[in-house]
Amino acid sequence: MRSGTVVGIVEATGKAGPYDPGASNGTEDAAGILFADCRVIRSNGTTATHVGSGVLVHGFVDAAKLPFPIDAAGAADLVQIRFENLVSGS
């Protein structure tokens, strides 16, 4: 997953996954933003089940520089992050 990806926590596993406002597994609630790239596909093509990465939970973020857009609901979940250039209606 790319740095800047908004993540939510999968309720069944307690692990982070990409934020998905249409989901119903916990990832519909934004929990943070990946601070660095996180490789989940190993060099041999298999998928890692446990990987580590830092997650930003407070600070300032230029929403225009995120690799994927965040909607207003996702931004509202991240109350300790101040978003600049957040496109309304996203």
pLDDT tens digits, residue range 9-46? 999 999 999 999 999 999 999 999 999 998 889 899 99
- Indicate if the pLDDT at residue 89 is higher than 70: no
Q: Sheet holding 16-18: strands in order across?
A: 16-18, 6-9, 30-34, 55-56
The DSSP code sequence of 42-66 is -TTSPBPS-----EE-SEEEEGGGS
- Indicate if the pLDDT at residue 5 is higher than 90: yes
Q: Calculate the average pLDDT of the chain.
A: 92
